[in-house]
Amino acid sequence: MLKQKNHTLHDFKFESGMVISDLSMEYAVQGTKKLDEQGNIANAFLYLHGWSGDYASVKNLSSVIGPGKAIDTRKFYVISPTALGTPGSSSPSSTSMGTDFPEYSIKDMIVAQYELLRQGLGIEHLQGIMGTSMGGFQALHWALEYPDFMDFLILHGTSHHLSNRMFGVYHLMNQIIEGDAKYNKGKYVQNPVKVMEHVAYLSYLWSLSPENYEECFDSRNEFLAGVGERKADSINWDANDIIWRNKAMFNHDLTHEISRISVPALVIGIHQDQIVDEKFSIMPLKEGLRNSELFLYNSIWGHYGCIKDVLKASGAIGRFISEGCSD
């Protein structure tokens, strides 16, 4: 069972120059530490969750992360932080700062993680980093900012940039929230729940594969029940948190930097993914990296297949770690 922990970063400075005196970083660990001759943790592995996750999202990957799994917690000491900007760690809602919370970048997110590892956990090197979806954006920034800090990357359902379609959906999401009267320019007293349900509905319409929408529901009522489950997820979404997180994504474009990444990387994609699509997102990532392998699989779950069908990538992950990174 994961045990939630917190570490406070003092006087954390954002790229914008703004400073938060006490920035909280939530995280959990699993596995057993192995120390080198100098007493440093020698088997640390970092898992970075996607857009709507937190530190506990690592449990959704229990088919590939755990004792005896591809990422074996008998060998790896796995750290899973809650990203900067997501409740649990400091965010607009969790700090009660609302719109006064600094707008942050993907780089800010990974700098906070780096300081958590160095200051909070005393980790000076990672064996590897795995990032799912938006977590993969962060993993790529890790490789650029701290290229000698990790031995390998596992990039799952992610890319070095946003396709125009991906940008458009999340940009529209922000417009829908900001255009709602109850949002009140971010100065709301109560979270505008109804509009959060609307943006959850929007995200649901492209999170699955086209086949899923037509083949997995026998009636419109069943489909609407599926929509209702996604809407229910949004009860814990804060409007300012979502807007700030999406703004961080909008500036994610490593097109001109990606060739500098030399860390061995396994790029994993899903043929039916409509968010991080194969042609405009996955393949350009694979081609842009200097030292990478590619594994693609089918999932009727589309982007959700990063979790629901991740077992299909288990063999590729295990081989990459044991063969490609053994030396």
Query: In the predicted model, is pLDDT for residue 1 greater than 50?
Result: yes
How many whole angstroms from its chain centre is CA 168? 19
Say how far apart CA 4 and CA 24 lie, in whole Å: 13
How high does pLDDT run on average in the chain?
96
Q: What is the pLDDT of residue 61?
A: 97
How many separate domains does the chain show? 2
Residue 324 — pLDDT band, cuts 50, 70, 90? Answer: low
Last residue of a domain, one of 223, 249, 275: 249
DSSP, res 322: I
Same structural domain for residues 97 and 16? yes
Query: In the predicted model, is pLDDT for residue 23 greater than 50?
Result: yes
Structure tokens at 42: 């020698």
Of these residues, 108, 241, 273, 277, which one is catalytic? Answer: 273
Give 200-256 pLDDT, tens digit per residue: 999 999 999 999 999 999 999 999 999 999 999 999 999 999 999 999 999 999 999
Active site (annotated) includes residue 273: yes
Say how far apart CA 212 and CA 234 lie, in whole Å: 21
Give 248-299 pLDDT, tens digit per residue: 999 999 999 999 999 999 999 999 999 999 999 999 999 999 999 999 999 9
Q: Are 262 and 290 in contact (CB under 8 A)?
A: yes
- What would the DSSP string read from start to end of 9-34? EEEEEPTTS-EEEEEEEEEEEES---
Domain extent at residue 271? 5-162+254-324
CATH of the domain at 198: 1.10.1740.110
Structure tokens at 30: 């699993």
Same structural domain for residues 213 and 292? no
